[in-house]
Amino acid sequence: MQPESQLSDAVLGQALDAAPDGIAVVDASGAIVFVNPMVEQLFEYPRDELVGMSVDLLLPEKTRGLHAGRRAEYAAHPRTRPMGTGVALLGRTRSGAEFPLEISLSPLRMSDRLLVIAVIRDVTERRAADEELQLAREELALVDDRERIARDLHDTVIQRLFAVGLSLQGALTRATGDPAIERIQLAIEEIDVTIRDIRSSIFALHTRRAFAASLRDDVLVIAREAARALGFEPSVIFDGPVDSVVTDEIREHLVATLREALSNVTKHANASKVNIELVANANYVSLCIRDDGVGIDTHREGNGLRNLNERAIAFGGSCEISRSSAAGGTNIQWRVPVDAKAAG
């Protein structure tokens, strides 16, 4: 093996040529005396044009005067440091394009001559990544704020409306005059409509992210939420590729349908068992909710159940609601074509 001193010049030359950053050597007047190939690549000048050129010409015109003054300051107090700390530096190519860069400076004494080594790095990709990260943080903050509003609406406003509705239903059983009965019934139906509208707003507030939950996860979360009110957790069955064939538009209405159906079960069914079945294939998606409660009165359909039907019809589908048997229980069968678009 040859001594290091015999290899130093060759190794140094190869290292400078292979360096991933631009390396330029500039004299005290700002003239370039050496560049490696990466400087040529970054600024689109050939080496023979760069050597002897003022380094100021590699910067945007509006910053050249300021840079000349800073060069003089550096020559008076040379030390290893980054250039333009706290300032967004830009380079200018031969074609006039500008790009963000970082420059580190180191002084090099050659006899009585001061040279400055500038290590130049293109940070275009890093700046773009930083901007994307900042946008993601801002979006996350917005999503968190929306979810907080949604929680407040769900946990406070809807619960209060439920309480008012239950009080009115209690009053309805004691009312004797026909006008009073009609007014109370209308008030209860208006509360149901208001709750439905608030739930739609809550759903709209939940912005879906790139790592958003699947439709299966949505269904399981809703079932767990309903369990708190029911006193037991509904059973859930999936059949088919529900996540790959159900579009976002259908998914939104299917999830809202499930929420409304389970809300009706919670309020009216007095059930001890609820089964949820979600089936999807190349032609249709079907949501079935069955309970063993008191059974729906098929001669009287409330606003909530009418809304389930309207959601299905909007996609060219159907919603069938029936009693399981004469003894009770309710079946809700909501079904739409998987390639359907909402009407209107």
Band of pLDDT at residue 318, cut at 50, 70 and 90: very high
| Better-scored residue on pLDDT, 172 or 41 | 41
**Domain 4-122 identical in fold to domain 213-344:** no
Q: Are strands 98-110 and 284-291 parallel, antiparallel or unpaired?
A: unpaired
- Torsion sign across C-alpha atoms 27, 32, 38, 44: positive
In this structure, what token pair is assigned to residue 197? 């509208």
Contacts 24+ apart (CB under 8 A), 103-110: 104/80, 105/74, 105/80, 105/81, 106/80, 107/78, 107/79, 107/80, 108/25
Q: Where exactly are the structural domains of the chain?
A: 4-122, 124-211, 213-344
Residue 206 clears pLDDT 60, i.e. is over it: no
Report residue 218 CA to chain centroid gap.
Answer: 17
Q: What is the model's pTM?
A: 0.43
Q: Taking all residues of the chain, what is their mean pLDDT, rounded to a whole number?
A: 82
Tell me yes or no: is domain 213-344 CATH 3.30.565.10: yes
C-alpha–C-alpha distance, residues 248 and 315, integer Å: 13
Distance separating alpha carbons of residues 274 and 233, to the nearest angstrom: 8
Q: What pLDDT score was predicted for residue 234?
A: 92
Residue 43 is predicted with a pLDDT of 93
Distant-in-sequence, close-in-space partners of 89: CB < 8 Å, separation ≥ 6: 83, 100, 101, 102, 103
Residues 122, 264: Cα–Cα separation, whole Å = 61
- Percent of the chain past pLDDT 90, that is, above it, reads 28
Q: Is 190 exposed, middle or buried (0-12, 13-18, 19+ CB in 10 A)?
A: middle
Query: How does pLDDT run across 36-49, given as a tens digit for each residue?
Result: 999 999 999 999 99
Whether residue 7 is predicted with pLDDT greater than 70 in this model: the reply is no
Out of 60-69, 138-147, 324-333, which region has the weakest mean confidence (pLDDT)?
138-147
Q: Is residue 264 scored above 50 in pLDDT?
A: yes
CATH architecture of the domain covering 4-122: 2-Layer Sandwich (3.30)
The candidate with the shortest Cα–Cα distance to 272, out of 232, 328, 225, 322, is: 232
Q: What is the pLDDT of residue 333?
A: 95
Looking from the CA of 63 toward its CB, the CA atoms found within 13 Å total 17
User: Which of 50-54, 133-137, 340-344 reaches the highest mean pLDDT?
Assistant: 50-54
Token code pair at residue 28: 């005290």
Q: In this predicted model, which residue has the larger pLDDT, 154 or 306? A: 306
